[in-house]
Amino acid sequence: MKLIADLHPHSKYARACSGQLTFENNTKWANWKGLHLIGTADFTHPFWFQDIKESLTEAGEGIYRYKNEKGKISTWPLFLLTVETSHIFTQNNRGRRIHILTFAPSIEIAEKINEEITKHGGNLMSDGRPMLGLSCKELVEIVWGVCEDCLVIPAHAWTPWFGIFGDKGGFDSLEEAFGEYAKNIYAVETGLSSDPAMNWRIKELDDRAIVSFSDAHSPWKMGREATIFKLKIKNEKLKIDEIGFSFQDIIGAIKQEPESRCQIDSTIEFYPEEGRYHYTGHRNCKVRQSPEETKKLGVICPVCHRPLTVGVMHRVEELAGRTSEELGIRNEKGLVSSGSPPNHPGYRMLVPLTEILAESFGVGVNTQTVLQPYHRLVQEFGSEFEVLLVTEIEEIKRVAGERVGEGVGRVRQGKLVIEPGYDGVFGKVKIWGEEEEVESKQESLFDV
Ligand SMILES: [Zn+2]
Ligand SMILES: [Zn+2]
């Protein structure tokens, strides 16, 4: 049995997040996406925590389900208690800014964590992703002081401003950030700005899990990155409620406990090139450099002679213990695996279905031209992940047309046109290059 999980969405109480992020909407979208397990998000926020207590009902140890106002309980998705906290502090005379994910095994434990953080001066009402003056070490002392079963994972590890390895406010190693507690940091989250292959180059991560979640700020962005868990059960016909699925299964998989019946199968990734800080550069000077170019040319802008904004790739080069040539083999089904040791689970690069539809039809994402076929495909084949990963291309063409089927096929094969982002400029990942687009438009004119 495989479960697709997104354990880092947000609620409507987190800053810069959509007011649509309610349990009702997140449940609906998780089902359309094909997510089996999602994070509650933001359990430290007092109003949202109240909502958690009223809207969720226990479905297993540390696992919950949504119960709507009429008392109807949704089978999917399952929920797990999660929060992201933002840490701003000084360590070794440098200002640090780190985002951290905490998973709690029950509502009661989550409540105790909230009390302890408040005692340590945290203002939990301010934001669903509360800003705390605690260091990484202080946070884990609080969390594990309440319950050692809680899992703590650095969020979006490579983001320049808030990633544990970030160039601006991060550290050079987990050891430096967490000290003696580093051995209990079992995973890092790739975030939108890195893919697993970039993380495979860091030797400190060899024995740790590399997980991917969406950091969604609106319900429809859930699942743009996700982690697929595999549950080994003797009888594959059993339903989820018959196997006693629990919080410990997920924790066992992430900790890579040998006796755990659950493992990480693979992850789903967003193209990190789309991130705003992939390459090094200056937006105003129109300077953009790959890591190889930066090695040769340095980090001073050739136009304005000031320091360039260093991108994520350059930072990976700085911390990497092995070269990229040794890693990343893609099979015909689009699964990228690490090949040689460290033997991390593989991953697939995807483009959200709404974006494939928008590009196929040459319209914006939030239009009826996109949403109508989106829902038709989801209804016909079960979920967005089913369409992106499993459904026969011919079947997709039958329901949504030739070009959409071709688009999904190209995404599966990785045949895309990619322009990496830099210095705050979003990168571009296109299914069809501009020339090809013109060609196919001409073809369609002839068709008429
Ligand atoms: Zn964050
Ligand atoms: Zn410049």
φ and ψ at residue 188, rounded to 5 degrees: -130, 155
User: What's the Cα-to-Cα distance from 410 to each of 364, 369, 390, 404, 407, rounded to whole Å?
Assistant: 20, 21, 14, 10, 5
Q: With 90 as the cut, is the pLDDT of residue 438 above it?
A: no
Say what percent of the chain tops pLDDT 70. 96
CB neighbour burial string for 308-343, b if at least 16 within 10 angstroms, e if fewer: bbbbbbbbbbebbeeeeeebbeeeeebebbbeeebe
Rg (CA), the chain: 22
Structure tokens at 105: 């095994």
Give the model's pLDDT for residue 21: 96
**What is the whole-number distance in angstroms between the Cα of residue 322 and the centre of ligand 1?**
27
**What is the whole-number distance in angstroms between the Cα of residue 99 and the centre of ligand 1?**
5
Please report which ligand is nearest the Cα atom of 306.
2
Q: With 60 as the cut, is the pLDDT of residue 440 above it?
A: no
Q: Write the pLDDT tens digit of every residue in 381-399.
A: 999 999 999 999 999 999 9
Give the model's pLDDT for residue 322: 83
**What is the whole-number distance in angstroms between the Cα of residue 11 and the centre of ligand 1?**
13
Please report which ligand is nearest the Cα atom of 288.
2
Q: With 70 as the cut, is the pLDDT of residue 60 above it?
A: yes
**What is the whole-number distance in angstroms between the Cα of residue 192 and the centre of ligand 1?**
10
Q: Write the pLDDT tens digit of every residue in 223-262.
A: 999 999 999 988 888 899 999 999 999 999 999 999 999 9
Q: Write the pLDDT tens digit of every residue in 338-381.
A: 876 678 999 999 999 999 999 999 999 989 999 999 999 999 99
Give the model's pLDDT for residue 154: 98
**What is the whole-number distance in angstroms between the Cα of residue 283 and the centre of ligand 2?**
7
Q: Write the pLDDT tens digit of every residue in 114-145.
A: 999 999 999 999 999 999 999 999 999 999 99
**What is the whole-number distance in angstroms between the Cα of residue 161 and the centre of ligand 1?**
10
* pLDDT grade for 68, boundaries at 50, 70 and 90: very high
**What is the whole-number distance in angstroms between the Cα of residue 377 and the centre of ligand 1?**
32
Q: What is the 3-state secondary structure (H, E, C) of the chain?
A: CEEEEECCECCCCCCCCCCCCCHHHHHHHHHHHCCCEEECCCCCCHHHHHHHHHHEEEEECCEEEEECCCCCECCCCEEEEEEEEEEEEEECCEEEEEEEEEEECCHHHHHHHHHHHHHCCCCCCCCCCCEECCCHHHHHHHHHHHCCCCEEEECCCCCCCCCCCCCCCCCCCHHHHHHHHHHHCCEEECCCCCCHHHHHCCHHHCCCEEECCCCECCHHHCCCCEEEEEECCCCCCCCHHHCCCCHHHHHHHHHCCCCCCEEEEEEEECCHHHCCCCEEEECCCCEEECHHHHHHHCCECCCCCCECECCHHHHHHHHCCCCHHHCCEECCCCCEECCCCCCCCEEEECCCHHHHHHHHHCCCCCCHHHHHHHHHHHHHHCCHHHHHHCCCHHHHHHHHCHHHHHHHHHHHHCCCEEECCECCECCEEECCCHHHHHHHHHHHHHHC
**What is the whole-number distance in angstroms between the Cα of residue 127 and the centre of ligand 1?**
12
Cα–Cα nearest to 64, from 37, 24, 45, 46: 37
pTM, two decimals, is 0.93
Cα–Cα nearest to 279, from 264, 267, 294: 294
* pLDDT grade for 445, boundaries at 50, 70 and 90: very low
Please report which ligand is nearest the Cα atom of 284.
2
**What is the whole-number distance in angstroms between the Cα of residue 197 and the centre of ligand 2?**
30
**What is the whole-number distance in angstroms between the Cα of residue 285 and the centre of ligand 2?**
5
* pLDDT grade for 333, boundaries at 50, 70 and 90: confident
Cα–Cα nearest to 192, from 6, 2, 4, 397: 6
Give the model's pLDDT for residue 70: 95
Residues with Cβ within 8 Å of residue 13, at least 6 apart in sequence: 42, 45, 47, 48, 127, 128
Q: With 80 as the cut, is the pLDDT of residue 19 above it?
A: yes
Q: With 80 as the cut, is the pLDDT of residue 74 above it?
A: yes
Give the model's pLDDT for residue 89: 97
Q: With 70 as the cut, is the pLDDT of residue 446 above it?
A: no
**What is the whole-number distance in angstroms between the Cα of residue 312 and the centre of ligand 2?**
18
**What is the whole-number distance in angstroms between the Cα of residue 287 and the centre of ligand 2?**
7
**What is the whole-number distance in angstroms between the Cα of residue 101 and the centre of ligand 1?**
8
Q: Write the pLDDT tens digit of every residue in 272-310.
A: 998 888 999 999 999 999 988 998 999 999 999 999 988
Please report which ligand is nearest the Cα atom of 308.
2
Place of tokens 């599966």: 412
